[in-house]
Amino acid sequence: MKAIATDKAPAAIGPYSQAVRHGDLLFVSGQLPIDPATGAFVEGGAVEQMRQCLKNIAAIAEEAGTDLAKTIKTTVLLTDLSGFADVNEEYGRAFAEPFPARACYEVSALPKGAMVEVEAVIAL
């Protein structure tokens, strides 16, 4: 296993890696909507937060020598599923067919008060 890290995505806020490479797969830890340039959440709601989460995943993928187009599986965590349609539309802009497998859950809370968190498994 090899840890992957980039300053183009937020640093881990706990005892974990931004991502871990194992074999031909990249396991990207849940990404919060933190702008790595400011260390703060992006302005706006869940759609803007989804966009930033995906930007962070893309930056980590690039550091590992791959990209979002090779995403196999994602898990999306939302604190309010009532905005799912809009968040789903933003998510769909990041991927093309064949779309990654995905799970999406409503959770009671996310770290630092985020509305969205996304993790991914990406082929290398």
Residues belonging to the active site:
104
Buried b (16+ CB within 10 A) or exposed e, 43-75: eeebbbbbbbbbbbbbbbbebbebebebbeebe
Could you please report the per-residue DSSP string of 15-52? SS-SEEEETTEEEEEEE-SEETTTTEEPSSSHHHHHHH
Q: Which residues pair with 26 in a beta bridge?
A: 21, 122
Q: Are 91 and 54 in contact (CB under 8 A)?
A: yes
**At residue 59, what is the residue type?**
A
Q: How far is residue 86's CA from residue 82's CA, in Å, rounded to a whole number?
A: 9
